[in-house]
Amino acid sequence: MTLEAPASAPPTEEPQPPRAGLERVIRTAGVVISLLATVVSALLELFLTPLRIGGTPIGVAILVAAVANYAISWFAVTTVGRRWALAPPWGLWTAFMFFAAGGRTTEGDYLVSGKDWVALVMILVGSLTFAVYTYRAILRPAVTQP
């Protein structure tokens, strides 16, 4: 009778850290996607600004601005992993609103008039949403990577 050595378990591989190239692609994609979402959000908010029911403005653009800008802020910071990722979408959104408030259509109408309280509050709330998210992100301790 011969003694055989027991079958040994196959060696387990330790998980490898993500490659730096893949991480850079994900961060870049996070910034690009957040900028595209900002364009869509800003245009949607501008189109929803004049929405009325029975001649009364309903202000749904204000709610969309708050929710969309918070979601864009969260997405940008989460995918990029840095707080600076808030700056590009915030700047782009603000530029869109400045253009809308100061630009005229071919007929001579302003996209956002000074008499449209929904649009003015939407601009205020949208920008404050980015500002509040930034402030809260600054107060949170930084997450250290192992």
pLDDT, tens digit (0-9, with 9 covering 90-100), for 117-131: 999 999 999 999 999
Query: By mean pLDDT, which of 34-38, 92-96, 135-139 is the weakest?
Result: 135-139
Angle CA 84–82–41, to nearest 5: 60
Average pLDDT over residues 24-38: 93
Separation CA 35–CA 104 (nearest Å): 24
Residue 106 vs residue 146, higher pLDDT: 106
pLDDT, tens digit (0-9, with 9 covering 90-100), for 89-104: 999 999 999 988 887 7
In 49-116, which ranges are continuous DSSP H helix? 60-80, 87-102
